[in-house]
Amino acid sequence: MEYVNGGDLMFHIQLCHKFDIGRARFYAAEIICGLQFLHSKGIIYRDLKLDNVLLDKEGHIKIADFGMCKEAMFGDAKTSTFCGTPDYIAPEILLGQKYSMSVDWWSFGVLLYEMLIGQSPFHGQDEEELFQSIRMDSPFYPRWLDRDARDLLVKLFVREPERRLGVKGNIRQHAFFQEIQWEALEERAVEPPFKPKVKSPGDCSNFDKEFLKEKPWLSLGDRTLINSMDQNMFSNFSFTNPMMDKLLS
């Protein structure tokens, strides 16, 4: 597994409260490229949030943690599983409706709002109040917010999934992204507006110290489960962990 040592967007936004518009636009554009690639492969991501967007040493984003993905979502296919991170859950999920790629564009709107304004668009004292806010409230837009940024957010927070930008219309053509050269961006030919300080390949200074204090633990295997699996899939592997017997004992 690749170690991406530039830290995540949550770590970096906590250092500066919010990103300037150029930096937010760059991250948003690269995230759009990632989401559209997943959607083209029939995958709903379902867990887009600041914590799951990492920066590499050059400052480009990498989307991480695909544990909540739903695959084989082509054409009119829909699903109804209730999942996601509370602040980012789309209203159609909360209402128990069947959904598709629209939920990723709602989460994208929440993430963009956080990058530009420095707080969440929906609030509550507990999860129940938060979910009610997501279903009912209109986000607050500060007067200083860029006009195109506000228009983009308004179109991402449309509660009717079929009318939400990303589902309807070409989000790349929105005025907020007028400066973006999409082909160059996809080729990583656009220089990131921010480059994280990385001293070495193993540098972990861009991660919260809380996580660095945790002790690593070996996951113990379940011999019964392993024996029940078809071992032919490993027939061409020559390596056997010398600790295998110890882990299964």
**Greater pLDDT, 144 or 209:** 144
Taking residues 18-46, report their average pLDDT.
98
At residue 12 the predicted structure's pLDDT band, cuts being 50, 70 and 90, is very high
Residue with tokens 């507006």: 193
The percentage of the chain sitting over the pLDDT mark of 70, rounded to a whole number, equals: 96
Distance, CA of 205 to CA of 211 (rounded, Å): 11
Residues with catalytic roles: 47
At residue 211 the predicted structure's pLDDT band, cuts being 50, 70 and 90, is confident
Distance, CA of 161 to CA of 166 (rounded, Å): 10
At residue 220 the predicted structure's pLDDT band, cuts being 50, 70 and 90, is low
Taking residues 209-230, report their average pLDDT.
73
Phi–psi pair at 99, nearest 5 degrees: -145, 170
28 CB-near residues (< 8 Å, 6+ apart): 108, 111, 112, 115, 176, 177
Taking residues 215-241, report their average pLDDT.
75
Q: What residue ranges do the domains of the chain occupy?
A: 9-186
By the 8 A CB rule, do 164 and 156 touch? yes
pLDDT value, residue 43: 98
CA nearest neighbour of 46 among 95, 96, 93, 11? 93
Strand residues in 102-230 grouped as ranges (E)? none
pLDDT value, residue 225: 74
pLDDT value, residue 247: 64
At residue 200 the predicted structure's pLDDT band, cuts being 50, 70 and 90, is confident
CATH homologous superfamily of 9-186 = Transferase(Phosphotransferase) domain 1 (1.10.510.10)
pLDDT value, residue 246: 67
| Per-position DSSP letters for the chain, written without gaps between them | ----TT-BHHHHHHHHSS--HHHHHHHHHHHHHHHHHHHHTT-B-----GGGEEE-TTS-EEE---TT-B----TT--B----S-GGG--HHHHTT--B-THHHHHHHHHHHHHHHHSS-SS--SSHHHHHHHHHHPPPP--TTS-HHHHHHHHHHT-SSGGGSBTTBS-GGGSGGGTT--HHHHHTT-SPPS------STT--TTS-HHHHTSPP-PPPP-HHHHHHS-GGGGTT-----TTHHHHH-
89-139 pLDDT, tens digit per residue, is 999 999 999 999 999 999 999 999 999 999 999 999 999 999 999 999 999
User: Which of 42-51, 72-81, 199-208, 232-241 bottoms out in mean pLDDT, i.e. has the lowest?
Assistant: 232-241
Instruction: Say how many residues make up the chain.
Output: 249
pLDDT of 62 over the 70 cut: yes
Mean pLDDT of the chain: 93
